[in-house]
Structure 1
Amino acid sequence: MKKHIFISSLLFAICTTVYAQGNSQQQHGADNSKQISARYADDKKLCAEESNSSTRMQCLRDAKEEYDKSIASAKTNSTSNKSNEKSTHTCAECGKVIAVDIQDKKGEGSALGVIAGGVVGGLLGNQVGGGTGRSLATIAGAAGGAYAGNKVEANMKTSKIWVVSVHYDNDSKNTYEFDHDPGYRVGELIRRNGNGIEKR
């Protein structure tokens, strides 16, 4: 009888392994437990058919032993699968600093720079030549002065920025700009926080 129980348990183990390939780990765990219990119930029915009481008791002990082994094995596999699942999941919000660069960020000229440059250029152009030539020089001076004024203002507003490059665990990359030293160093572990980052 023990041999029959062993064979049925072996066949059951093979069936559950094949069955697992087409189902999720969670569903498989629940179905596996049901099948183990069903197999145990069938084994107890077989044992009940034994005419000798001592043989019947031994059969029940063997069935219980196989049931306990199957339950323990299923729990071990479930725990192992959960651990593997956790280790394969990446933290999409987690990453590492791969570069910190200090760069010059050019400012933008405003209408004030254009107007001031145009006035100065127009005044200078007005002092050149006479008649129609003076008018043309005034217009050219105003246009050139407006352009120059815009560029001068933009250069005056140039500032330093810190550009932090991050490589995320999900293999994506991003850069973040700061108007002051954020204190990040290459190799430092960070986490995405909204539109910015923070240390882990």
Structure 2
Amino acid sequence: MQTQLKMLCLGSLLAFSAVASAQTYGPKDEGRRFNDGSKVVCHNVEVQRNSKDPNRITGTAIGAVAGGLLGNQVGGGNGKKVATVAGAVAGGAAGRHIQGNQQSKNGDRVVERRCERRYP
């Protein structure tokens, strides 16, 4: 039991040290070459920033409520229940899509320079 515990601790320590030693590169390192033939390459990446609702929960919730209310107006009996659920699902998907379009139009995206080490 103690041997297994020691091996587990040693493995965890090695994994932690590998993660801790992972190096990050910035634009100042661009073009830097290493002895193994690898070099640092940078590129621009579009990322979303400063969004108040990145998961689009508000749009999904409002769409689901509206779709459920509209679906409830259709049919009768069990058909009415099915229409309500289907309306809520469709409305939620539509609300999420609409909110996503609005967020991308309102400039929630910025360009960021990211660098990484590339091997030949």
- Length-normalised TM-score, structure 2: 0.47
- Length-normalised TM-score, structure 1: 0.31
